[in-house]
Amino acid sequence: MKRIINNPEDLVKEMIEGVVEANKHWLEIIPGLNAMKKKKIKDKVIVMSNGGAGCEPMHIGYVGIGMGDATCIGEIYTAPSAYTIYETVKAVYKGKGAILICANFMGDYLNTDMAVELLNLEGYRVEKIVVNDDLNVEPGADPDKRGGTTGIIYVLKVLGAASEKGLELEELVKLGNKVKNSVSTISVTLYSGSFPQTGELMFEIPDDTIEFGMGFNGEPGIKSSKMLKADEMVEIMFEHLKKDLELQNGDEVCSMVNSLGATTYMEQHIVFRKLAQLLKKEGVSIYDAKINRYHTSQEAGGVSITLLKLDEELKKYYNFPAVSPAFTHLPHNKQTVFQIRDFL
């Protein structure tokens, strides 16, 4: 696979420089680290996520108004070190606490947990939320075996808004865990992406085969199948999500159809069309639908579907405006509209 890169060692650094330059009115680099932050952060609890590079726009795209306050990025598919996370928090801390959000992968969990301990030792009030939305195992299986993916965006969205509204650390941890426990994701992978440093394929799937619940580096998932029609794929995915979230008539959800990289706008909307039909049939209404690339595996083929089951509290914070490089939300109703310029 051909790639548009310079020196392979500089990928992460150059990407951060590009993102910050493109959003220079409200973002800046934290010097000496592969990390960035909002230029202006209120006196509030810090909310940030971290993780390895390679799944863009994951992490790097979700720093902004009503979203994360900062992020630090590891090398390609490698968690940032505990030390980097620790320094990033110190660069943005406002004295009211911080919440570190990461995916439930060994490297991310270990480094985030270690950073929390170091910061606590120095008197910083820091908590972590380890997100495990991914159905890479059957619903009901050991939740520790589940990875984290696009669910992180919803945790950032809700906590970003709630922290701007002045909620305290303990309240935010409770709220963040509520999001974590109300969100579920399932993917279907058609073919592998390639490592950006080398252009080599990460894994191989036979041409006539698709994989449900596969990890973004090819880790085995729930099941393989022969190639299916779009509607059949979405039916299988929806069954898993419905079971995992125990969806019932009258429920309300936010939905996210995410391209794993190569899957097109056209295909994503064909997927969403079927998803909307299935939800309607179950009597579940969609409060807000997002369709884009949110968490990729480079140029892998496939999609993931994420559903967030809402209650009034989650809906309230979800419906705040958000402006970040890869996730923007405009409020639906007049009651919650407030002036974005208050934050600039």
Partner 1 sequence: MKSLSINQVVEMIIYICSKLVEEEKYLTEIDKKIGDGDHGITVKRGFGSLKRVLEKKQHFNSVNELFKLCGIEILKNMGGASGVLFGTLFIGGLKYVEEVNYITLGFLSRFFRNSLQSIINRGRASRGDKTMIDALFPAVQALEKSSKKHEDIRIAIKNAALEAKKGMESTKNMKAKFGRAKHYGERALGIPDPGAITVYLIFKHMSEWFSLIPE
Q: Is 114 one of the binding residues for partner 1 (CB under 8 A)?
A: yes
Q: Cβ 78 to partner 1, closest distance in Å? A: 8
Size of the site for partner 1 (CB under 8 A): 15
Task: Tell which one of 110, 141, 228, 330 touches partner 1 (CB under 8 A).
Answer: 110
Nearer to partner 1, 120 or 248 (CB): 120
Nearer to partner 1, 107 or 139 (CB): 107
Residues 83-102 contacting partner 1, CB under 8 A: 83
What's the CA gap between 307 and 185, in Å, rounded?
A: 7
Start-to-end Cα distance in the chain: 41
Contact criterion met (CB below 8 Å) for 254 and 287: yes
Q: Is 336 one of the binding residues for partner 1 (CB under 8 A)?
A: no
Residue 132, token pair as written in the block: 């495990």
Q: Is 111 one of the binding residues for partner 1 (CB under 8 A)?
A: yes
Residues 47-86 contacting partner 1, CB under 8 A: 78, 81-83
Helix (H, G, I), strand (E, B) or coil at 304: strand
Task: Tell which one of 2, 4, 106, 200 touches partner 1 (CB under 8 A).
Answer: 106
Q: Cβ 202 to partner 1, closest distance in Å? A: 16
- Stretch of residues binding partner 1 (CB under 8 A), selected from 3-11, 93-101, 108-116, 203-211: 108-116
Q: Cβ 148 to partner 1, closest distance in Å? A: 15
Provide the mask over 117-136, with x wherever binding to partner 1 is found by CB under 8 A and - wherever it is not. Answer: xx-xx---------------
> Which amino acid would we find at residue 147?
G
Contact criterion met (CB below 8 Å) for 51 and 76: no
Which H or E run includes 317? helix 312-318
Q: Cβ 161 to partner 1, closest distance in Å? A: 31
Q: Which residues contact 218 (CB under 8 A, 6 or more apart)?
A: 192, 202, 203
Task: Tell which one of 15, 41, 76, 107 touches partner 1 (CB under 8 A).
Answer: 107
- Stretch of residues binding partner 1 (CB under 8 A), selected from 50-58, 110-118, 243-251, 268-276: 110-118
Residue 121 buriedness (CB in 10 A; 0-12 / 13-18 / 19+): exposed
Q: Is 202 one of the binding residues for partner 1 (CB under 8 A)?
A: no
- Stretch of residues binding partner 1 (CB under 8 A), selected from 109-117, 130-138, 201-209, 249-257: 109-117
State the helix-helix crossing angle for 151-164 and 169-180, rounded to 10 degrees: 150
What's the CA gap between 276 and 285, in Å, rounded?
A: 8
Which H or E run includes 191? strand 183-191
Residues 210-239 contacting partner 1, CB under 8 A: none
Q: Cβ 33 to partner 1, closest distance in Å? A: 12
Provide the mask over 158-197, with x wherever binding to partner 1 is found by CB under 8 A and - wherever it is not. Answer: ----------------------------------------
Which H or E run includes 258? strand 252-259
> Which amino acid would we find at residue 198?
T
State the helix-helix crossing angle for 82-92 and 106-121, rounded to 10 degrees: 50
What's the CA gap between 50 and 102, in Å, rounded?
A: 6
Number of Cβ within 10 Å of residue 343's Cβ equals: 17
Nearer to partner 1, 81 or 328 (CB): 81
Residues in contact with partner 1 by the rule CB under 8 A = 78, 81-83, 106-107, 110-111, 113-114, 117-118, 120-121, 144
